Amino acid sequence: MNQNETPFLEALKKYIDENVSPFDVPGHHMGNVDNLFKDYIGELTYRCDVNAPRGLDNLNHPSGVIDEAQKLMADCYKADEAFFLINGTSSGILAMIAATVKAHEEIILPRNCHKSVINGLILSGAIPVFVMPQFDHNLEISNQPSIDDYIKQIEKHPNAKAIFVINPTYFGSTNDLKALAKIAHENGMLCLADEAHGAHLGFSKELPISAMEADFDLSAVSMHKTGGALTQASVLLRKGNRVTHYDVFKSLMVVNTTSPSNLLIASLDSARHFMALNGKNKLEEVIKIGEEAREKINEIPGLKARGKDYFLNQGSYDYDSTKLVIELESLTINGFELYNVLKDEYNIQMELAEQYTVLAILAIGTKKEHLDNLVNALKDISKRFYIEKRTYPKYHYDSPFPKMVMRPRVAYQAPVKRVNLDDALGLISKESIMIYPPGIPLIIPGEVFDKNIIDRIKWYKKTKATILMDYDDMTVSVVDYEQYLENRDNVEDRFDD
Ligand SMILES: Cc1ncc(COP(=O)(O)O)c(C=O)c1O
């Protein structure tokens, strides 16, 4: 296919040039309003924010320029079919799970998955069979589960419908996708991938392979994260015939808006164009300047920039070197504080923090000048906060995640009770509690509050982390089990009854 073409963008430009008299929504009618945001961002953005069913195709039933643009996307990402998403990879994950795993069917997935995956379980009613990630006790982050742990669960749950993989994790760890796809397919299971952080994978030999290259059946990819599209613009990729066009189409109809933004669709079309033509060179350039920055950071007292060798030693199969993981080895501040200091005092926005780590995402937009600013800021911060002997304690979790006793959907629908966190010991959670970013829940609906998780939540509350809970006053939402039992004819069963 001719990757030089941008069929949707061209059609949009033509439509704008035609000087239409608009009587469809949106009612600003191509920017014909007094609006402070329009003044700031420029009239053209508003002019391009059209619905235009005649001329610009329909995302929910594409047969014209969206269809053409999706075919180019599929070709670029080595898929058989691509579905544009305008509500992020979250919507792709919801659709992907709903399309493949029904209520009471099992899906094998890593426990360190994003909250959208948990919401996918709630929507579909599936039973999660978790594979525990390998835990890096030094950085206190979760990487990939080992392939052996996936295999154990595949053997233990032969009726599971699908396996689910994160490619890569937020911190760049990847798994042996080809081996996993082979084993899963031989066992009659589908292969699903969350590639929210992987829109650039597969574009260079220096990067891990993508899920489509490994013959996965479906993958949701955040083009907006590392592929150059506008925020919320993602794509759901399909390969082979284990999952049909119809399966995906039907579940996308459940989650898609009927008013997709054509700005986002145009950004997908041109992001794909850039990646197809320039992705390889640009990414290799970025990996090179990232490596140079790593070397400089490693000379700064109190800090370590972790890369591929480190993650392979920790058990990852491969590593995405565009993730610049900076460990705080010996500073008087923690990762959350470093994240804040970098923004508040040096005007540098990092992607996320953990207790001993901050993460910089390098992507096609990364400038050497910005990496230099980061290195210089870290040098200065080291002068201010370095100590020879670390004063803050390492905080280790015995079991990183609590036990699940109820399907997430059942817990989500069960009657609610609000209790103090300290009184939640032994009760079943109705909420997902997470540090954001990364948005990986510490506890999810259906899991039981144990001492470890209560301590962890209290500890995170004391750090400068942003912790998302239903309420901010140290109360939590749990299942009102007495009421649940009284009404249980109306709701579905517990796991362990
Ligand atoms: C691992 C992971 N999966 C899925 C998502 C959801 O992607 P999106 O923000 O495109 O909806 C995110 C978002 O941060 C993520 O980190």
Helix (H) or strand (E) holding 439, with range, is: none
C-alpha dihedral, 141 to 144 to 147 to 149, nearest 10°? 50
CA–centroid distance, 269 to ligand 1, in Å, is: 20
The type of residue at 158 is: P
**Taking phi first (over 0 means left), then psi (-120 to 50 degrees means alpha), and beta for anything else, what does residue 172 get?**
left
Ligand 1 binding pocket mutation candidate from 111, 197, 257, 436 (most atoms within 8 A of CB): 197
Per-residue model confidence (pLDDT) at position 332: 92
How far away, in angstroms, is 366 Cα from ligand 1 center?
Answer: 20
Report yes or no: 405 and 495 within 8 Å, Cβ to Cβ.
yes
Q: Is 194 in the pocket of ligand 1 (CB under 6 A)?
A: yes
Distance between CA 455 and CA 135 in Å, rounded?
A: 18
Q: Could you read off the pLDDT of 13-45 as tens digits, one per residue?
A: 999 999 999 999 999 999 999 999 999 999 999
The atom number, within ligand 1, closest to the CA of 232 reads 10
Q: Whose CA is nearest to atom 4 of ligand 1?
A: 196
Q: How far is CA 403 from CA 16, 161, 165, 173, in A?
A: 55, 22, 21, 25
Tell me the pLDDT tens digit for each residue of 159-181: 999 999 999 999 999 999 999 99
Contact criterion met (CB below 8 Å) for 181 and 164: no
Q: Report the nearest atom of ligand 1 relative to the CA of 87.
A: 11
DSSP codes joined into one string, 373-409: HHHHHHHHHHHHHB-SS--SPP---SSSSPPB-S-HH
3-class secondary-structure state, position 362: coil
The answer to whether the beta carbons of residues 150 and 111 sit under 8 Å apart is: no
Q: Phi then psi for 213, rounded to 5 degrees?
A: -65, -25
The residue ranges of DSSP E strands in 196-295, in sequence order, are 218-221, 234-238
**468 bridge partner residues:** 434
Q: How far is the CA of 90 from the centre of ligand 1 (A)?
A: 6
Distance CA 380, CA 257 (A): 47
Tell me 427's DSSP state: P
User: With a cut of 70, which residues of the chain have pLDDT below it?
Assistant: 391-400, 489-497
Give the whole-angstrom CA distance, residue 424 versus residue 433: 13
CA distance 183 to 217: 13
- Burial status of residue 92 (CB atoms within 10 A of its CB: 0-12, 13-18, 19 or more): buried
Residue 226 Cβ < 6 Å to ligand 1: no
- 52 CA to centre of ligand 1 in angstroms: 29
pLDDT of residue 436: 85
Cα Rg of the chain (Å, integer) = 23
Q: Whose CA is nearest to atom 9 of ligand 1?
A: 88
Helix (H) or strand (E) holding 152: helix 147-156
Ligand 1 atom at minimum distance from 85 CA:
10
List, in order, residues 6 or more apart from 285 with CB less than 8 Å away. none
Specify the pLDDT at position 45: 96
Q: Is 90 in the pocket of ligand 1 (CB under 6 A)?
A: yes
Q: Closest Cα to atom 13, ligand 1: which residue?
A: 196
> Are β-strands 234-238 and 218-221 bridged in parallel, bridged antiparallel, or unpaired?
antiparallel
366 lines ligand 1 (CB under 6 A): no
The rounded distance, in Å, linking the Cα atoms of 169 and 219 is 14
Give the residue, out of 90, 237, 267, with the most ligand 1 atoms within 8 A of its beta carbon, to mutate for a pocket test. Answer: 90
Residue nearest to atom 7 of ligand 1 (CA): 89
CA–centroid distance, residue 91 to ligand 1 (Å): 10
Q: HSE, CB side, 13 Å, CA atoms: give it for residue 78.
A: 13
Q: Degrees (nearest 5) of the Cα angle 312, 316, 322?
A: 80
Is the Cα torsion angle 197, 198, 199, 204 positive or negative in sign?
positive
d(CA 265, CA 1): 19
- The torsion angles phi and psi of 219, rounded to 5 degrees, stand at -150, 135
- Any atom of ligand 1 within 6 Å of the Cβ of 172: no
Per the listing, tokens 């059946």 go with: 217
Are 78 and 202 a contacting pair, CB within 8 Å? yes
CA–CA separation, 145 vs 143, rounded Å?
7
Pocket test for ligand 1, best of 89, 111, 223, 434 (most atoms within 8 A of CB): 89
Return the ligand 1 atom nearest residue 194 CA: 3
Ligand 1: which atom is nearest the Cα of residue 225? 10
Q: CA 340 to CA 333: how far, in whole Å?
A: 10
Ligand 1 mutation target, pool 93, 111, 113, 114, most atoms within 8 A of CB: 114
First CA to last CA across the chain, in angstroms?
Answer: 55
Query: By three-state DSSP, how is residue 291 classified?
Result: helix
- For the Cβ of 112 lying below 6 angstroms from any atom of ligand 1, the answer is no
Which atom of ligand 1 is nearest to 92's Cα? 11
Cβ–ligand 1 distance for 262 under 6 Å, the answer no
Tell whether ligand 1 has an atom less than 6 A from the beta carbon of residue 88.
yes
DSSP single-letter state for residue 494: P
Q: Note the Cα 416 to chain centre separation in Å.
A: 28
Pocket test for ligand 1, best of 194, 231, 435 (most atoms within 8 A of CB): 194
Question: What is the model's pLDDT at position 440?
Answer: 86
Residue 196 CA, ligand 1 centroid: distance in Å: 5
Query: What DSSP designation does 424 have?
Result: G
Ligand 1 pocket, 170 CB below 6 A? yes
CB–CB of 192/96 below 8 Å? yes
Residue type, 168: P
